[in-house]
A and B are shown apart, each in its own frame.
Chain A
């Protein structure tokens, strides 16, 4: 019997991610959604700089590699010229909220129908776990060895709060993509609800773009390697600390795609 494969994912494509990192989960869901909506052939992905850079080795769609933080500008230009295509990008929290916050904000404010998926692992993953604008108070990173000091660095940036003030955004959502550890009598299990919710968010974000709206989804995930935690501990951290700083929320759904 043939194995069902997604046309948007390379049959032999292997992600470049560390074992257990949900960056890969996001890629898988993007591939699935492209397939489900039948938009693989007209999709153009703009890659950012960070761990998601090498996504083009996994997803079989047109690809443009942006400079660090600038993907929303590139996506905007492509979409303005290729109106019937589906233009999307994956950005890290550092890429989107540190170096590239201006490009993100202006693209969002213009409401150009593109889709930005932001993977928020609360650090700079690719460069070795330095502090990001999203790092929670007290979190130790390679540049905050004693924990993030809010007095000096300010509180962690909340993308959804910032973007909520822009009227032309059509879909704005924050989900947790990390499977929640469930502690049973004899072992630890993981829930699949987070993954399912995340997939729905990916799907809805694309649907919004197809209805001519700007969509942004923030995925709260792990970076176990740079957090210097086991896979399990990192997943615990997201569900104990991460969700408090970044509670899941549907901040905007102008077209009501969630209900459909």
Chain B
């Protein structure tokens, strides 16, 4: 199951602390991790704790990250909403951790069926004051494992919160994986607050009362963002030539769209799929390149068109939306039909 794979990947990659509050459809990740806690094989896995709320979770992640430890949680939309403040503090004070958002149906309590309706929230408004975490979007179980590993590394390389955006289907899916997660390459954490220990003190802070100081910190974060832009990654599936249709999708929608593309190719329709692997930063160059050769762009998503918004902002081209709402999953035939 996806959740088990994610749990294995996290712990083998070097997870040191897990804090979480149960919420469907993410709880299986926490449950699977709880089983691995205390195993002799993983001496680095120091803390597993069920918190009292997502507010507590995110702040515990903040504490663990501030002390330089690899930590993560898994949650879903309502929980992520509660974490927004903490993510903003972490972003501002450059504290690393990984949050897995197993997207469920929203808004409100919605339902526990899969949706992809947190995209706009995660990309544009995860906390006050201008916050831009790194966002990863796996579309298979194996890729979920790789992204957990990569998420830890990116979080520590750039000292930033990383969000892995996935959905109930991938997390509950049974799939074959061929990957043994190695222990991560964790950069030195000389900045971490673990006590002065006769050296200089460490300050993990986000308050800058003087405007020049705050401006300085913001500029530093923006400068870092430019570095982060270079890690943008995407896949363009079957994008060989001029395209009759370029599909755009992430997660389970991308997986289904790949099948639709193959179907269309058999019929002689020149179809391709653009799939952002990092949702933030978005691979702007690639999307510009592939969209310029496409007759039509169709965004397949389990929401009202949030990914399409992002793509239109970059390409300034019309993007047709094939929306699936309320927990419905894209249908291969329907997706294929949409090329016309």
Chain A residues within CB distance 8 Å of chain B: 40-44, 46, 53-54, 56, 60-67, 70, 73-78, 80-82, 85-86, 102-103, 106
Contacts and interface: CB of A to CB of B under 8 A. Distances in A.
A82 B65 CA distance: 12
Interface residues of B, number: 39
Contact of A62 (B17, B46, B63, B202): B202
Contact of A102 (B46, B56, B63, B71): B56
Given A85-B194, A102-B52, A65 B59 contact: no
Contacts of A44: 67, 193-195
A56 B63 contact: no
A80 B69 CA distance: 11
Contacts of B16: 81
Contact of A56 (B59, B61, B69, B203): B203
A78 B202 contact: no
B330 interface: no
B176 interface: no
B188 interface: no
Contacts, number: 123
Nearest to A79: B63
Contact of A67 (B17, B85, B198, B204): B85
A79 to B, nearest CB: 8
A228 to B, nearest CB: 24
B201 A62 contact: yes
Contacts of B66: 64, 74, 78
Contacts of A74: 59-60, 62-63, 66
A63 B130 CA distance: 24
Contact of B207 (A53, A75, A76, A106): A53
B196 A103 contact: no
Contact of A73 (B59, B93, B195, B201): B59
Contact of B196 (A54, A56, A61, A75): A61
A116 to B, nearest CB: 14
A67 B61 CA distance: 13
A61 B201 contact: yes
22 contacts: A41-B198, A53-B207, A64-B93, A65-B89, A65-B205, A66-B59, A66-B89, A67-B89, A70-B55, A73-B51, A73-B63, A74-B59, A74-B62, A77-B59, A77-B62, A77-B71, A78-B63, A78-B66, A82-B194, A85-B195, A86-B195, A102-B52
Given A78-B67, A102-B52, A41 B62 contact: no
Contacts of B89: 65-67
Contact of A81 (B17, B51, B203, B209): B17
Contacts of B64: 77-78, 81
A40 B86 CA distance: 28
Nearest to A86: B195
A141 to B, nearest CB: 24
Contacts of A82: 67, 194-195
A44 B47 CA distance: 19
A194 B47 CA distance: 40
Given A63-B193, A66-B59, A67-B89, A77 B19 contact: yes
Interface in B37-72: 46-47, 49, 51-53, 55-56, 59-64, 66-67, 69, 71
Nearest to A105: B52
Contact of A63 (B55, B197, B202): B202
A162 B204 CA distance: 31
A63 B204 contact: yes
Contacts of A53: 207
